[in-house]
Amino acid sequence: MIEDILHKIYVALIVVLFFGASIFVHEYGHYLMARLRRLVVQGFSIGFGPKIFSWRDKAGVEWALRWIPAGGFVKLPQMITSTAIEGDADLDAPPISPTSKILVALAGPAMNVLFAFAIATLVWIVGLPVVINPPVIGYVEPGSPEASLGIREGDRITRVDDRPIRSWQDVQRFTILSRTNQISVEITREATVRTYSLTATVNPAFGFKLLNLDPHDHPVVGSLSPSGAAETAGLRLGDQFISFAGVPVVGQSQLVDLIRARGGVESEVEISRDQKRLSLRITPRVDPETKVGRIGVGLSPSRVLAYQLQRPGPTPWEQISGVLEQMSDVISALAHSKETGITPKELSGPVGIFGKLAADANVDIRLALAFIVMVNINLALLNLLPIPVLDGGHIVMSLYEMIIRRPVNSRFQETLTAGFAILLLSFMLYVSFFDIVKRGPLFKALFKQESIVEPMPKTIP
């Protein structure tokens, strides 16, 4: 119990430290460049909203930590300000050149990129756990379109939408991002390679489209109905199904079919419990309404997720280019939302970032470090969007000032920046709502997932 509490405290500290560091380096880039360009600096805040605590340094700069952990700001009255976020500023400060404004705006994203490369270098040195989840097909329902095409259990998926596949995560990601629900899938069986056009359907729980193919997996007992057939037979939470009625279990839907077909018939079930194989006898009870067999369990995928430590890890450039590729895929999917079904509500805000970071830290701190690389590259590029209140907005306004050789009307700047600040905060609340409602249960399930990280097997000459 105490160990579990300490572990949760550890995960929480990792989340606060890593995300806070990403925000800090971004804002410190602005702060450092502002000092170098001799700008007036009034404040440095991590977070928005009311202050948790604050103090002033000898230079009169107020350093503050605030309650809404969705970003931060450096209060520079000579730049475009947003009273909606930063509060009132001293507008009597002397004007500065557009060049200084551009340099200060660029410094924040630049620091995020440098920080990302530093963390990526660390990951390269210490190694990165890579999930062992081969794209091997499990149960294929008899009579399904996939079965009629000749797809079988044990086949391996090698390409989806003409993109190479290494894991089931790749299968799901490329299916979700595809611009059509008729997806080209390359499948290998021994030395034979065939390409099929398979139909993906929308999963009602998550709103994503998925292929009608299951991974080769041994489901576990996620919940037990009191006095149900499973509890009576001696099954326990966490038991992993190996076989049912002599048939090897390779997926949840297959196991459900086996149980339904054995209503009222005593069957042998082989399970794995605490790394030991046990054999139990169970008689599925016939549901009076549906007339099919039930044993009174809630099933979930295998709780033990295996990782293999890749050391050295991927190079810093491989990590950065991988993040850029993922960002490009998401932008493309959003731009073609009618075809992909991906909309802005599928994006993650601070809540989603915290959840993913916590889930990674719960497994291995190196996974959390790799995720922070992605967070910082995203922060850098998103802040360069030419939107008022973001760094890109400052740059566009400053370029305009350089071209017309006079400052943009200050009242117009403040109004436009404040309006976009409200829009930005509203958008964060919007995506955070879906983070909680749609992805909250997923993050909760990830915390219950048991994981092991194994060393990379040595090559024997």
What the chain holds in terms of domains, given with CATH numbers, is 2-115+358-454 (no CATH), 135-215 (2.30.42.10), 220-300 (2.30.42.10)
Q: What is the pLDDT of residues 340-395, one digit of tens each?
A: 777 777 777 777 888 888 888 888 899 999 999 999 999 999 999 988 878 898 89
Torsion sign over Cα 357, 358, 363, 366: positive
Q: What is the mean pLDDT of residues 191-205?
A: 82
The answer to whether 11 and 3 have CB atoms below 8 angstroms apart is no
Radius of gyration of the chain (CA): 27
| Cα(66)–Cα(51) distance, integer angstroms | 4
Residue 287 main-chain phi, psi, to 5 deg: -70, 125
Q: Is 182 exposed, middle or buried (0-12, 13-18, 19+ CB in 10 A)?
A: exposed
Q: What is the mean pLDDT of residues 450-455?
A: 61
Q: Of the candidates 266, 268, 277, 280, which has an alpha carbon nearest to the alpha carbon of residue 235?
A: 280
Structure confidence at residue 450 as a pLDDT band (50, 70, 90): low
Q: What is the pLDDT of residues 43-80, one digit of tens each?
A: 899 888 888 888 998 888 889 988 877 778 888 887 76
Structure confidence at residue 176 as a pLDDT band (50, 70, 90): confident
Beta pairing partners, 192:
189
Preceding amide of 312 cis, omega within 30: yes
Report the pLDDT value the prediction gives residue 245, as an integer from 0 to 100.
82
Beta pairing partners, 195:
186
Q: Of the candidates 74, 76, 110, which has an alpha carbon nearest to the alpha carbon of residue 93?
A: 76
Neighbours of 8 (CB within 10 A): 13
Taking all residues of the chain, what is their mean pLDDT, rounded to a whole number?
A: 82
| Cα(136)–Cα(155) distance, integer angstroms | 6
Q: What is the pLDDT of residues 137-169, one digit of tens each?
A: 877 878 888 989 989 888 999 999 999 988 887
How far from chain centre, in Å, is Cα 302? 20
| Weakest-pLDDT range from 76-80, 176-180, 268-272 | 76-80
The answer to whether 50 and 64 have CB atoms below 8 angstroms apart is no
Report the pLDDT value the prediction gives residue 460, as an integer from 0 to 100.
35
Beta pairing partners, 199:
182
**Percentage of residues in the chain with pLDDT exceeding 70?**
88
Report the pLDDT value the prediction gives residue 246, as an integer from 0 to 100.
77
- Measured at the CA of 85, the angle between CA 350 and CA 404, to 5 degrees, comes to 110
Q: Which residue has the higher pLDDT, 376 or 303?
A: 376
Strand stretches in 87-126, DSSP E: none
Beta pairing partners, 45:
64, 73
